[in-house]
Structure 1
Amino acid sequence: MNLPNKITVSRIILVPLLMIFMIPIPDATVNFPLLKFLKDEMLAFNRFVNGTGNYIAAFIFILAASTDGVDGYIARKHKLVTALGKFLDPIADKLLITAALIALVQNEVITGWAAMIIISRELLVTGFRSIAAAEGQVIAANKSGKVKMVLQTVAVSVCLLENWPFSLITDIPIGAYLMFLAVIVTIYSGIDFFVKNGKILRSGNK
């Protein structure tokens, strides 16, 4: 496995670690009779997660998100592009953003609608790219898609950090507004993607 693919895999590995620091251990598990000997430790861990876990999760998320593009750049520059890399890279991106969104919904930081719209767009575009690949065509990311990814990353990061550093100067829920903006741009980028690439799907149905 070459370096770009290792970077991509590391992004996937960080996903469950992200979830560990975002979602407390369920009460059913904490109170499970066979795990009674670990109850104090689990309660202590939950207090830690509820207290500072989001900040650690934010660091993990930002670290993982920062590798997006690095693996592709290295692969192209050193001619290390592989079929495995093309397969894993978009999956790693989708897993990261999906995991963060689901955890934020569970923690009641964002609405289920926001997560559903963003995740649906990613799944539809990924499926479309698979169809295009079967037709021997590679669809490059458009500008609106790149802006969408940046906005999603910033919005999730600010939500995880509980509006820091904006909370130092205002009580306005900047994270919520950024997430709303990310949803709007996500919808626009999805429409833009399908309008520009719909001919591929139509040609595949002929």
Structure 2
Amino acid sequence: MNLPNKLTILRTVMIPFFILFLYTDWFHGYDKIIAAVIFIAASLTDMLDGKIARKYNLVTNFGKFMDPLADKLLVCSALIALVDLNKIAAWVVIIIIAREFIISGFRLVASDNGVVIAASYWGKFKTTFQMLMIIYLVVDLQFAYANVVGMVLVYVALALTVISLVDYIVKNYKVFLEGSSK
């Protein structure tokens, strides 16, 4: 098993630890910081595994399947937990998760037609803001305008989620139409 695949597995293994520290108070207030650090480390493995795989030609079928799945598991787990902890509205998380299902469906159809659809800049911005939002909500800073900052991050991440979905559909709708005519 190559290094990028090991990093992907590591990211998946980190998810339960992230959730555990998010929900516990074993370390008297530091649990949220530990959870945020785990989330940041897991997010960095996402960036790192792809760069290593492409740079050293270590792309595998396992990586093609597992990397996006690990990403979705990490983000969706965090978002669902944050709904449970009343840090983010459920409707926002439903929109974000629905976008992931729609894009995954598009990628399946494209793959069935032998087409690989690369991530767009909008998708990368979306991912960055979602991760910043999650980290901010997990750490739960307390200062005068903390709620406003959190709300801005949530709505920017949500807007980028919708924009990236529309961009993705507009750029790739022909793949979907061609796939549905077979």
Mapping of residues 89-100 of structure 1, within 5 Å: 89-100=67-78
* Amino acid in the other structure paired with 1:193: Y
Query: For the Cα contact (< 8 Å) 2:112–2:179, is it kept in 1?
Result: no
**Structure 1 unmatched runs, 5+:** 24-45
- Measured against aligned partners, the alpha-carbon deviations of 1:80-127 in whole angstroms (never above 9, x if no partner) come to 111110001100110010010011110001110111111111111012
Q: TM-score, normalised by structure 2?
A: 0.93
- How far apart, CA to CA, are the structure 2 residues paired with 1:158 and 1:72? 25
Q: Which residue of 2 aligns with 1:12?
A: 12
Root mean square deviation of aligned Cα: 1.5
Aligned-partner Cα distance in 2 for 1:87–1:129: 11
Whether the 8 Å contact between 2:32 and 2:139 is mirrored in structure 1 is yes
Distance 1:49 1:98, change over 3 A: farther
Q: 1:51 is aligned with what amino acid? A: G
Contact kept? 1:8, 1:92, Cα under 8 Å: yes
Structure 2 residue ranges without an equivalent (≥5): none
Q: CA deviation at 1:49?
A: 6.9
Alpha-carbon separation, structure 2, partners of 1:70 and 1:86: 14
Which residue does the alignment assign to 1:73? Answer: 51
Paired residue secondary structure (1:196)? helix
Distance 1:172 1:121, change over 3 A: same
Match of 1:179 in 2: 154
Question: What is the rounded CA distance, in whole Å, between the counterparts of 1:142 and 1:80 in structure 2?
Answer: 22
Aligned residue pairs total 180
Q: Residues of 2 paired with 1:71 and 1:131: CA distance?
A: 25
TM-score, normalised via structure 1 length:
0.83
How far apart are 1:51 and its partner, in Å? 3.0
Whole-angstrom CA distance in 2 between matches of 1:148 and 1:69: 14
Distance 1:53 1:150, change over 3 A: same
Corresponding residue SS for 1:139:
coil
What aligned pairs does 1:86-165 form with structure 2 within 5 A after superposition? 86-163=64-141
**Identity level (%):** 42
Instruction: Report the alpha carbon displacement of residue 171 of structure 1 after superposing the two structures with TM.
Output: 2.6
Structure 1 runs of 4+ with >6 Å offset? none
Quick one: distance in 1 between partners of 2:125 and 2:141? 21
